[in-house]
Structures are given as structure tokens and as C-alpha cells.
Chains A and B, each alone.
Chain A
Amino acid sequence: MTKEELISYIQENFSGKVELIENDMPEPYFLIEPKAIVAFSRFIHDDNKLIMHFLMNLSGVDTKENMEVVYNVCSYRLKHRLFFKTVLPHEKAEVDTVKEIWAVADWHEREAWELFGINFNGHPNLTRFLLPDDWDQGHPLRKDWVGRDVIPFPEGK
């Protein structure tokens, strides 16, 4: 499907809960409520006209105001792609896991949890993944994070 077809198809079948983010990319980009993430993922994965069987990437983002989780999915069979994201508050960054839909989300969610402190409810194994096993300094990719051994970039350079 082309970008326009994808947009109208998804807005028809999932009305009210999705919000289109205008962009210049060749793929549609949607903003979804945190509560609807699992339902939306299930829909695009199972729907016969979308068949998004492949989660290309799942990443956390810290925008200072909010935390975000961005999902990139594609369909090998129908050769189209779709991006969507959800916005979470800083203090309580929580969203349901999509591990049951795309198994690859397991590691991606562990990474987002470890580096950003985003909790994925229902994930069975949110444990240390990329950082050293004895790491005790929190979630380093958060904007407000201050590390113990970090050498700050010199002012004015």
C-alpha cells in the first residue's frame, strides 16, 4: 500500500485512537495512546491488508518534557512500512509489552528499560542487558542523568 492508502485504511479501522503526525517521510507516522498500543499492534500484525510481521526497531526517546517509545514495523509480504510512537510522562514511564506480538521486542524492550527506565508491563525478564552486570548508576540515556565517572565536555569548546 502507498502512504496515503495506509493512512486512510488505518484511520478508518482504528478511528479515534490514532493521531497522524505530518512528515515528509515515505512512511506514515502515528501517535497512539499508551493504553491502545497492544490493541493497535495486534491489529496491524493480524490484519490481512497490513500483515506487519516484522518489528524493525523499538526505541526509547527522552525529549526532556516526555518519554517516548517509537516502533518501526514493516511487512515483508506487502512491502510497506509504518512508524508509530507513544508518549509517556517522565515520572511514570510505563507501557504494555508487545513481546507477545513480536518476539523480537523482548530484547528491544530490555534495552529501552535499561537505558531509559521505561517500564514494560508484562515483560517477563526486564534485567541487565547491555551495561555491566554490576551497574548501579541508573538509566544513563535519560537527559537528567548524572554519572559518577563521566568527564563533562569542557565549556566553550
Chain B
Amino acid sequence: MGVNDKLPVHAEQSPGGGIITTELNKIFTLTQAKSLWYLLFGTACCAIELMATGASRYDFDRLGMIFRASPRQSDLMIVAGTITYKMAPVVKRLYDQMAEPRYVLAMGGCAIGGGPFHYDSYSVLQGVDKIIPVDVFVPGCPPRPEALLQGCLEVGKKLRTQKIDDWRVR
């Protein structure tokens, strides 16, 4: 039955599978969770691990995750790397340019709370959650690709609990 099996349980399946009746909310979040496009954006060593996750061995694509080089087309921002005070306004602007619904995954110690640059640092922002809301934190220095993949699945899980009505409309 293909797609019919994967739909939320309360989808009404017509005989033969030609027509289904379901909730718009469910079908929308389901499809979105299966095509999380992320912003191609990395600021330090964690970005190397992000690239490794995107490459063939770990293969982000099989989760429907494709990088987009424009914030206008992305659903997810993976903050991969150290954010300096000089870079912070740029990150904020990229986040502002993304369309709703948008999600943020903070990857690595630096993006979570300064990481190795937490103490005695004059230039590093102590956690990206100081400037933009973060949905999922993936700790590590850098996190392994498996951890990042799991983080993205968590974003998908969170996404599926949300209502379309909750999305902010500007």
C-alpha cells in the first residue's frame, strides 16, 4: 500500500488506496519532517563534521535533507561551529531571513555554550541561544555524524507535534 501505511493512524483509507482523507496538519508536518532542508552554513571545525554527514558515508539525503545555499529555502539552520561576536549579527540576520516554520539545531560545544572558548574569551559568543531560539542541542566537540543524524531526527519529532496554526504569520 506504500504511502498509506505510513500515514497517521486515523487516516481513512479508501479501498484500493486511491483516495485518503486525513488531517491537513498531519500530512503537512509529516511531509515536512521528511524533507528538512538545511542551510549550508558552517563557521568552524564542526562544519567539517557536518560536511562528512552530508557526504556519501553517512548520507543526509536519505532523510530527505538537502542543503540549500539560501536561507529563504531552508527549514532548518544547523549552527555548526564557533560563533564570534563579529559573526553573531550575521547569524541573527540569516535566521531572520528564513521563512516560517523554521528550526535551529545547535551543533557542538561552541554553539551550545562557548565550548573550549567558554573561559577567558574576549571574542566568542557564549552559546547561540543568546541570540536565536534553539530547538535541539547536539553536544560534542565535534559531535559524530551519528549524533547529528539523531539530532535531526529529533527536530523531525518535534516538528510533528506542532500545529499549523502555531506557525507565526507575518
B119 touches which of A132, A145, A153 (Cβ 8 Å): A153
Chain A contacts with B in 112-157, Cβ cutoff 8 A: 130-133, 137, 140, 145, 147, 149-154
Contacts of A147 in B (CB 8 A): 122
Contacts of B85 in A (CB 8 A): 131-132
B120 touches which of A131, A132, A137, A152 (Cβ 8 Å): A152
Chain A interface size range: 10 to 19
In the complex, the chain B residue whose C-beta lies closest to that of A157 is B119
Q: Is the CB of A151 within 8 A of B123?
A: no
**Number of B residues whose C-beta is below 8 Å from A?**
10
Residues of A within 8 A of B (CB): 130-133, 137, 140, 145, 147, 149-154
Interface string of B9-44 (1 = CB under 8 A from A): 000000000000000000000000000000000000
How near does chain A come to B124, taking the closest CB pair, in angstroms?
10
Contacts of A140 in B (CB 8 A): 122-123
In the bound assembly, the distance between CA atoms of A133 and B90 in angstroms comes to 13
Q: Is the CB of B120 within 8 A of A150?
A: yes
Contacts of B119 in A (CB 8 A): 151-154
Contacts of B118 in A (CB 8 A): 151
Interface string of B109-135 (1 = CB under 8 A from A): 000001000111111001000000000
